[in-house]
Structure 1
Amino acid sequence: MTEDVRFSRPLMTMADAARHLGIPQQTFHRWARGYPRGGPLIHVADSDSIRQATVPFIAMAEAWVLEGLRKAGVRPTRIRPALNQLQREFGREYVLVSQSLATDGISVLWDFARTEAGAGLIEGGSGQVVMREIVQDYLKYVGFGADDYPNYLALKPFEPSKVAIDPYRSSGQPVFFGTGVRVANVAAMLKAGEEAAVVAEEHGIGIDAVRAAARVLLGRAA
């Protein structure tokens, strides 16, 4: 698995990954580095610097689905033993990005939460059907290859503009769908003080796409 760029090639820092996914940076960092009672929940590379790219494509997909589970009422601080259980059930390490997670996986999590080991995993008001629906919605943004592992990730925070990551194209950097224009290049021009209309013309994209890059990556309007 280590020779596959989806798993082995870091694409961005944890801060940048969090911005692209619309996840609080502190939350993403906890998922990547682990909690006091458990290890990391997503697969990132080790680094001595927070400015170094450590997040491969597979970790982006994992974090996106983990965010779906969090929205559905699963407590990430309690999920490590549950992931171990899912790994045993599915027989694979990267269980967060299994296509079966929204069906069989939710049932496993639900049953595990009713055991002593899984106490506190799921918030009291959550229901199994609603959890499944939320996770299925998040998985709609993930494309899967013939090996059943993700090979495409659409980035919801940029909507209605369409931005996606294909680990085999543009060195795995997020691009505007159908153009190949890197979102980071658009944001860089804006950050340098260029007018939005000029940036749009330079890259051959719509003004709404430019505004999406500013909103998500720069945290401001363009």
Structure 2
Amino acid sequence: MVIDRFTTPLYGIAEAARYLAVPPSTFTTWAFGYQRRRRDGRAIEGKPVITAARPDRPNEAAVPFIGLAEGFALAAFRQAGVPLQRIRPAIDALEEELGLAHALASRRLFTDGAEVLYDYAEHVGDESARELVVVRNNQRVFSDIVASYLRRVDFASDGYAQVITLPQYRTATVTVDAAHAFGRPRFTHGGAKLEDVIDLFQAGEPVDVVAEEFGLSRDEVEDALRVATRTAA
């Protein structure tokens, strides 16, 4: 199967949300937008901001790798404390000013995005976008939280995301890569799929046996179990 990073659905909504450590309801809003009715009866709509296709059945794959990468950037903005509804116009400005689709999954978000967002915030007086950017040495750069996320993305020759290092692991290095294992999380050390490691432990094998089986350290396995337990809670 040839995987197109932009169009091949790889992840269900709940699955993608779990990888990015955001609530499924939040990821659903990013993927499909929302429509709410105010107390005065007026409808409020928010359009989708990541690439996804509505699945025919629950838990069916709906999100391509690029959609996951776009969600990763939004997770960074969310971690910085800026609600999505307050930065939707800024995202539109990013795509318009950078002149390309999927700006949130582009290398240019990292290289040029901070300046675009800062200029946008100055132009419209939007404090929300300004919270994502700081000025250091007369340069406009992303805040530490956002920058720490974006540094975890590696880009292909086309300038779009290819590999994402997931942020919630402390000891293990776990990546998602559209070119390997159908985009499922893998340990950089040894290359084992995360789900295989978790499954073996859940089958009753001790941590040390799991670590030896997959060529991992005990700390790496325990780190993966910590994240899996927290996600399931």
Once the two structures are superposed, the pairs formed by residues 46-195 of structure 1 within 5 Å of their partners are 46-115=54-123, 119=126, 121-122=128-129, 128-129=134-135, 132-134=142-144, 135-195=146-206
Q: Report the Cα distance in structure 2 between the residues aligned to 1:188 and 1:55, rounded to whole angstroms.
A: 24
Aligned residues: 217
Query: C-alpha distance in 1, partners of 2:117/2:16?
Result: 26
TM-score by length of 2: 0.80
1:122-167 per-position Cα deviation (integer Å, ceiling 9, x unaligned): 47x6653386133322111000111111111111212321111121
Among all aligned residue pairs of Structure 1 and Structure 2, give the percentage whose two residues are the same amino acid. 38
Distance 1:77 1:129, change over 3 A: same
Deviations 1:19-70 (A, max 9, x none): 2222233222221222333211111222133311222211221111112222
1:99-139 deviation digits (Å, cap 9, x = unpaired) = 232453223223333455x756447x665338613332211
Alignment RMSD (CA, Å): 2.7
The higher-RCO structure (CA 8 Å, 6+ apart) is 1
Is the CA contact (8 Å cut-off) linking 1:97 and 1:150 kept in structure 2? yes
Structure 1 residues not aligned, in runs of 5+: none
Instruction: State the alpha-carbon separation in 1 of the partners of residues 149 and 161 from structure 2.
Output: 13
2:38 aligned partner: none
In 2, the alpha carbon distance for the partners of 1:104 and 1:170 equals 31
Question: Is the CA contact 2:11–2:61 (under 8 Å) kept in the aligned structure 1?
Answer: yes
User: Comparing both structures, which one devotes a greater share of its residues to strand?
Assistant: 2
- Return the letter of the residue paired with 2:21: G
User: What is the SS of the residue equivalent to 2:73?
Assistant: helix
Q: Contact between 2:69 and 2:164, CA under 8 Å: does it hold in 1? A: yes
1:27 aligns with 26
Give 2:51's aligned amino acid.
H
